[in-house]
Chains A and B, each alone.
Chain A
């Protein structure tokens, strides 16, 4: 594989990766409390299976995805990251752009860090793909690159011929995958082979690394020994985007509303691969992850292996908190979001924390009018027309925004990065998307209400008609009786005529009328 394709646009960014890239992965301190949200991925939250006061061991399942058919669901179980006591199951602030609270299990650690019994698999090649998928699902593994798509859901498709392990790590500052590739290349190569086994032995298995990480590339190359191909791809943001990386490596574009699997391609992240390796070889569920802790708000930027649920505050303290922290970003500087405070837990999708003592450049400039310079369209990796989307969103013409394929936007932020007017373009698109979704819901609600109303009108009319029909049929049924009465009366009249009785006559005539 020597040829690369190029997606449209993209930008070259100053990586700032050397802040943390030369520090070996260290272990984060054991915190006093672990806060574990029941939902840390795309899909359905897990259901608690422990009560307040329960003692739990490290790696024990504390919340389950209902029954044992996890591998069929968009959900994974949650494990205790350390041994201790469950002290609360309650809503707690979680790291999410909405800033809303979500249900969490809070564990007070006992300091012993005592493991539950682990169920390891020595020779995975003898195990059926189905069982392995179940095993991976039960280990709580989700995509650790940031999106958090349950890993087992990307391991069930038949007809996959290309497996890609995504080591592009294109966002600035983030170095956790770089360090993992350098320090645990064997784990990653074996993990890739496990994936390959589960997918029925894909024809291609590629580990792709951006060429700004030469050390990671050579480490992987040495470990791979030709078992999987390791390739260097050009450094260009957002090469690490799933669809962008597929395009670079295969030239294949994935249609909107299609999955890479539909095109015979599956992509997994570096750290996910390593988590799968650990789940299979050591039987260890996902209870920790490597987080890049960086920025100028701490003394020592580094990569830490952090127990899930560890409060961010503990991490910042360990890295040497500076007094003048202005901003806290979770994720990379291009697509991450700001956190309101540091009393939030590290979750499965936290790949990076940027602790900044200066406000970001983007906030220092006031937004100016769009001059239609088209710089945004030149860098858009999806080849959209960001300026048109902006104008339509600004004019609240959401129909036109949709017409210009607003929903194809991957929110990579390239357009806003280059915009000479400093317009927060991605925010405009998120707003438009939310408005369109809300309108859609409104419309569905209105449709439902209208249908209900129409049905009610119809039902009332039907009931009225039925009532009328009933009355008529009742009337019709009583008709023969009348005839009998009349005939009987006539009989009586006749009888009277034959036996005249002057007093009764007028009354009889009246009744006949």
Chain B
């Protein structure tokens, strides 16, 4: 019997996939463009994400035993399926670059500046590969712990920053105009794009297909709530201009937080919670990369593909993160283009094709899953 995870784990996976980069790196990018409207930009982005998640779920509900790669294989043939798998793999390379930038710079810049960067990449690789071998169920459980840790992280940052919060810093609302604010939402779009693409690969492993829509959308909504706290706090406590000055804005807020007179510089506790979620992200990316590679090479199981796919992701990620300037150029420019080019059109295209080729899909979905 195929391994299946609960819808709760699926929601937890979505939250973990979005959160880590969204609260710091993304907010810095948005703040540099629209200043104090960054929280509105984040909100607008979440609305876009809800739409794409809905389309993704609806497309996959037509063939609940197949992921998007397999569905495209049914619709357009074997080679199209492989092409989609390669496209997803390329997406995951880009996603891993962004995730690794978040992971490495959080730890390297603020905690271990003397540690060589390759150590962080190696740690991510070893821990990620090790966990990926155990499969989606273990990662799903890890994601649940990740959500709890993120919840605690949010409480800690609230406790340490709320006393410095000034609501006047959030005014005036939409100072940058609706067009600029919406355009700036592209940075956060890349965060939920990871969640929707991974959903496109992993949804067949989730129980109760009738509830996929609710859990997918609710996962995004909860993730949105948990993320949006950060731009609001960053604007109110730090100010938007200071947020925009930093590469990792969330860490700047974390190290400015203090609870009372005796508990300050407790960002070490916060980073521990953060790291659980980031590792979950890494594991999920490795898992999906292995699944894509399995589909490309028609392997029976994803496990033989874990090490080669993870090493490819890690090597490219290492190249990206060894230079801050290159990493920021990638995250703010190339990754934005790549994410939008894949996360938006592919689910919409497959949904449209599925609408016109319903019978083909019904016939194909009865076939044994790869």
Binding between chains A and B? no
